[in-house]
Structure 1
């Protein structure tokens, strides 16, 4: 069994909700036992919740993505805290996310917007800490900065989504109780650093993800990624490491359940 630890199943690229549910079912047929759907903005909190309840192999996280921070207001954080408090009674709610910092997109790199991103990240890390929840972190061109705030605030672990840092940064995230997310990028032969990380990092530190509809693997690119591809991505990871796919499936599933205890409880129910 595989777990897709990061999939935007509600994305408009997939069509309507019926299409998203069909993709979740397709993934289940291909051995994907669970898909974690992170929110990106307060407006889609109810959407990811509803989708997770309609797909038998889905769960969800709540958070405000850094790309949505420019249009967010401080009241959204109060709304999020209340939504998380309510969601704690929902077994399908498993994490805070997607949150983080994006210092790749030029507009988000302007000083005022960097400061706003940091404010929203820190406040969401505090929500995670206060409720004992792991975080799903967007860390594009911001590995050390996200790590600094994680260390200072101390959430209950998490996942560094689409990890593409150094081995030293990887170890720092591992020391902070994080797992490292790998997806379609590792299937491209030109992605030398990601492939080295995927091959050489401890298997106990790795989870697999699609980030669908984005980060399509090489055999799908430039098409739309889907959660069903996580099994093939996992097989590519196994090949890079010289391991068998069943071994990698078991290990990455265990890792995902370890870092998201509410997901473990959900799947054990």
Structure 2
């Protein structure tokens, strides 16, 4: 869903991802270092949002939906024809931010698309605990048309996104897509999904892997051959190698630099924080390392 939807957008459409949408960043031309340095905590942001037309990935669950709607309302006031896209997971739909964003989007007919990737499992409970009915059914209650699609079907995802983008760009207002997929692995590194999930269910979804399905389709249509397979593998290897290189060679900045680039201009509040932080760090000066 990430890759298909990003490719369905126009280059100047502005995308607002969460911390999970690395596929969106890759599709928009992010460098390998952009995918790892933020996770290392080395920098606040790894790319200029206006270069990729992608906002800095949001860590607060669902907050990017409000940012996307605000940007879309700005597009309206500027008289532009771009579209804003908000990405979030099934869990975020229980957050107030997502629901408030849909209220504003509907009320102002903002050119925004909401993309919900429903992977069916939180850390230890199924999505049915938080939503007894399909999540896509919530959007019409806000006056927003919606689709519920197979999130593991790349072609369906692209087609649905084209519909949603056209709806928003034409002035018809927001649209909502629920892409039903599946979380194959654990929710976090401390999670053990074998304690709460049936192995047969996991194997069923393993057979629906979107990469395998798309490759099978392309082979049947004659668009995938061994030479293309080698090209795909080589591209993936280069990306992975670049990410490893960026992570292994990253420089950990001096602690005080965490306050750099918080504001574009000098700010007295940051100056005071810098003084206090420097005094705190100075308290460790006599300790042995």
The TM-score, its normalising length taken from structure 1, stands at 0.36
Comparing both chains, which one has the higher relative contact order based on Cα–Cα distances under 8 Å and sequence gaps of 6 or more?
A: 1
The TM-score, its normalising length taken from structure 2, stands at 0.34
| Structure with the higher strand share, 1 or 2 | 1
